[in-house]
Amino acid sequence: MKMLCVALLMLALSVPAFAGKGKVTLAYVEWDCAAASTNVVKAVLQERMGYEVEIIPVAAAAMWQALGTGDADAMVTAWLPVTHAAYLEKVKDKVEDLGPIVGGAKLGWAVPSYVTIDSITQLNENADKFDGKIIGIDPGAGLMALSEEAMKEYGLDKMELIEGSGATMTATLANAIRDNKWVVVTAWSPHWMFGKWDLKYLEDPKKVLGEEEHIDTVVRKGLKEDMPEVYAFLDKFSYKDANQLQMIMAWNQEKGADRYKNAVRFINENKEQVDSWLK
């Protein structure tokens, strides 16, 4: 009998501390910025608050739908006021926007900071320095459609928009920076490349590629009543600036990186900031 009691006690002590506080479900899109932020939230909820957390990668439309139906409790990757506006419109009565976790989200064309031009309007006259190429990503991406429009609006007849992928774009960028060559790439931020290299966006005076956005936390209606502690944390969660998020994203690009371990590293190295989210 005594041995049984000892065994039961050991079993009880081995149960994770978060098992009794409930489960939080987070939806996210497999973007580097979304994965980084979602894991930071998961780490705080589990390591500091004692909740069990499930994170579910889905397409953008499914992410918003999951919040609308209540299948997900929250997400921290709503690009507003433009990119995700149509998704928000469909579920606006079933979700609550808690505001930005970071500003400075945008689409554009970027160059290394050592490139001495500052505007898209200067590309044609410097086409030879760029080998006449603008390094793009997947042909179906919204950024590529906007880039095609920018080519026409700015009359870039000496430049060619090259299709590829996010991986080929960053590989080309890395090679050019290694050799100190001029290169222009289709870009968006937050993105880990801004944390790894010193880059700048080219000015887009006609605003063809859009203007600055922010990334928000959005939760399902009812979360405040169901899980007030979780709601209060999510309402306060934000980065000091885009550089913080891009730093985590850069960590996640390192060989053998583990997103969750990097999230735990971030909350351990920024304890005062995390404490402010939990007050």
Peptide bond into 190 cis (omega under 30): yes
The whole-angstrom separation of Cα 216 and Cα 235 is 10
AA letter at 200: K
Over residues 190-230, the pLDDT tens digits come to: 898 987 899 999 999 999 998 888 999 999 999 999 999 99
Residue 266 has, within 13 A of its CA and on its CB side, a CA count of 28
Q: At 26, which helix (H) or strand (E)?
A: strand 23-28
The alpha carbon of residue 95 and the mean position of all alpha carbons in its chain are separated, in whole angstroms, by 20
Q: How far is it between the farthest Cα atoms of the chain? A: 87
Percent of the chain with pLDDT over 90: 74
Burial class (CB in 10 A: 0-12, 13-18, 19+), 7: exposed
The whole-angstrom separation of Cα 98 and Cα 111 is 34
Phi and psi based region of residue 107 (left: phi greater than 0; alpha: psi -120 to 50; beta: remaining): beta
Per-residue confidence (pLDDT) for residue 195, from 0 to 100: 79
Tokens 């005062």 locate to 272
Q: Sign of the CA dihedral 89, 94, 100, 101?
A: negative
Per-residue confidence (pLDDT) for residue 14, from 0 to 100: 39
Nearest to 88 by CA among 67, 110, 103: 67
Per-residue confidence (pLDDT) for residue 20, from 0 to 100: 64
The packing angle between helices 228-236 and 271-278, to 10°, is 130
pLDDT (tens digit, 0 to 9) for every residue of the chain, 279 residues total?
444 444 444 444 433 444 568 999 999 988 889 999 999 999 999 999 999 999 999 988 899 999 999 999 999 999 898 878 889 999 999 999 999 999 988 899 999 999 999 999 999 999 999 999 999 998 867 788 889 999 999 999 999 999 998 889 999 999 999 999 999 999 998 898 987 899 999 999 999 998 888 999 999 999 999 999 999 999 999 999 988 998 999 899 999 999 999 999 999 999 999 999 999
The whole-angstrom separation of Cα 91 and Cα 258 is 33
- Domains in the chain, ordered, with CATH? 22-103+214-278 (3.40.190.10), 106-201 (3.40.190.100)
Q: How many residues does the chain have?
A: 279
Distinct helix (H) and strand (E) counts, the chain: 12, 9
AA letter at 87: Y
